[in-house]
Amino acid sequence: MSENQSWKNSPALRMVKKYLLIVLGCAIYAVGFQFFCFPNRIISGGVMGIAMIINALSGLPVGVLTILINVPLFLIAWRHFGLDFLIGSLVGMLLMSVFVDVLAVTGYVATSDPMLGAVIGGVLKGAGMGLVFCVGATTGGMDIVIKFLRQRYNHINFGTLMLVIDVSVIVLYALILSAHNYESAMYSLIAMYVSTKVIDLLLYGIDNSCVCTIISENSEALIREITSGHMHRGVTVLEGEGAYSHRRKQVIMCVVKRNQIPELRRLVRGIDEQAFVIMTDAKNVFGNGFGNIAEVR
């Protein structure tokens, strides 16, 4: 291995990249929160949302309140997730709190339209948090709680768990801060939904794969073209039987990228126009030619 390749794979460089992404993610989140959401009273979920409720009641700075609420949660996280997770998340929480309070000093408001604030603010906040989560850190608070829950309910996406918790905080906000804030709570739900979708997009990617099931009288020719032709995709052959004819048939199952679907349709049409084809969306495909299962979050 060359010296250049060794540096690219070095733990030091990976650590630098990790903390650069944490800084960038926290900055993006703070912009979405302070310039789009906060001026329009669009509340965040989790600890930041609780801090906003206290801020509305007492006037204390949101960033400072966020740090104070996070202290007991970080003590718990230290015992369960180790020092590396604690340091990364502590940096994320502190940077996010500092960025939010620093940007508040500018007094800048990007828009006074609550719908624009909800949508654009939601996108920016989701993108910022997604970058932080991608490197295995969190921004503290409810993110730590969600990490605990993911250990037990790992079949539920990070963004979905976050949405459930954040909606609870938003409902609390609406109930505590009088009926005049119900509209703000509804805009907050929009922002929260957008954020969680962006987070899941960054963590799990776009559903860009498709499971194809093909039943054909010319299965051998189809298998040959799919595996050794331009597509170069693996195929699993299942043994089937027609319920009416009781004839034995080979059922072809393969997973292809979404941009390969037109090519597969042309291939099947060229070999057997009478083939029966089923295509269904596939999410989180891992293995040769697709995602790496070792990187599942």
**Which 3-state string (H, E, C) describes 201-242?**
HHHHCCCCEEEEEEECCCHHHHHHHHHHCCCCCCCEEEEEEC
Q: In this predicted structure, what is the pLDDT of residue 122?
A: 92
When divided into structural domains, the chain yields a total of 2
Quick: pLDDT tens for 103-135. 888 888 888 899 999 999 999 999 998 888 887
Residue 197 β-bridge partners: none
- Given 184, 204, 224, the domain boundary residue is 204
Q: In this predicted structure, what is the pLDDT of residue 266?
A: 85
48 vs 63, 89, 171, 205, CA distance in Å?
Answer: 8, 15, 14, 26
Q: Are residues 47 and 179 in the same domain?
A: yes
- Could you tell me the sign of the dihedral formed by the alpha carbons of 197, 200, 205, 207, in that order? negative
Q: What is the CATH number of the domain that holds 243?
A: 3.30.70.120
**C-alpha closest to that of 252 among 285, 203, 297, 217:** 217
- Given 145, 180, 204, the domain boundary residue is 204
Quick: pLDDT tens for 228-256. 766 778 888 888 877 787 788 888 898 88
Q: Are residues 37 and 181 in the same domain?
A: yes
**Containing structural domain, residue 23:** 3-204
Q: In this predicted structure, what is the pLDDT of residue 286?
A: 64
- Given 204, 230, 258, the domain boundary residue is 204
Provide the pLDDT confidence category of residue 209 given band limits of 50, 70 and 90.
Answer: confident
Q: Are residues 150 and 229 in the same domain?
A: no
Q: Are residues 55 and 126 in the same domain?
A: yes
Q: Are residues 173 and 39 in the same domain?
A: yes
**Which alpha helices (DSSP H) does 59-157 contain, by range?**
62-106, 114-134, 142-152
Q: Are residues 149 and 82 in the same domain?
A: yes
Q: Are residues 143 and 62 in the same domain?
A: yes
Q: Are residues 169 and 223 in the same domain?
A: no
Q: Are residues 79 and 99 in the same domain?
A: yes
Q: Are residues 273 and 186 in the same domain?
A: no
The pTM for the full model equals: 0.65
Q: Are residues 82 and 136 in the same domain?
A: yes
Q: In this predicted structure, what is the pLDDT of residue 173?
A: 76
Cβ pair 117, 36 in contact under 8 A: yes
Q: In this predicted structure, what is the pLDDT of residue 65?
A: 81
Q: Are residues 18 and 90 in the same domain?
A: yes
Question: Residue 282 belongs to what H/E stretch?
Answer: strand 276-282
For the chain, the average pLDDT equals 79
